[in-house]
Amino acid sequence: MHQYNSVQRMLGCLLAIVLSTAIPIADGNAATTENFMAKTTADLIALCNTDPSQSNYIAAIHFCEGFATGAYQYYLSVAADSPTDRYVCLPNPPPSRDSVKAAFVAWAQANPDSLTQAPVDSLFRYLGTTYPCSAN
């Protein structure tokens, strides 16, 4: 448990250092160059919600999915060392990546206070409330 808390504190400190002012969700579902810095949940949502007609759609969607997948894989690695600290448990079979992405975008937009927060924090707040271990 101490190792997990140390990692959480370290990630929190790193994110606090990187975190700057919030960038609003881009109009017209077009991600901006600044969104790729992923400083806030609004940035990640702008990337995840980029319209397929936009010129940077492929880069934005791959960034969105890579960010979320990497964060979740790291969580699984840390949770393997401390199973009692697990709080996200996907059902079997797990939901599709597209359905989770769409639901996360909807959740973040319905929770505007999350938009100025670190994207990894919002992502796991969403996952923890949507897929809690106690429900499995």
Which residue range is the domain that position 8 belongs to? Answer: 2-135
C-alpha span between 90 and 85 (Å, rounded): 15
C-alpha span between 77 and 89 (Å, rounded): 13
Helix (H) or strand (E) holding 9: helix 2-18
pLDDT, one tens digit per residue, over 69-103 is 999 999 999 999 988 889 999 999 999 999 999 99
- Model pLDDT, residue 76: 95
Half-sphere exposure of 106 (CA within 13 A, CB side): 7
Q: What percent of the chain has pLDDT over 90?
A: 73
pLDDT, one tens digit per residue, over 25-35 is 334 578 999 99
pLDDT, one tens digit per residue, over 50-71 is 999 999 999 999 999 999 999 9
- Model pLDDT, residue 55: 93
Q: How confident is the model at residue 126 (pLDDT cuts 50, 70, 90)?
A: very high
The number of folded domains in the chain is 1
- Model pLDDT, residue 134: 80
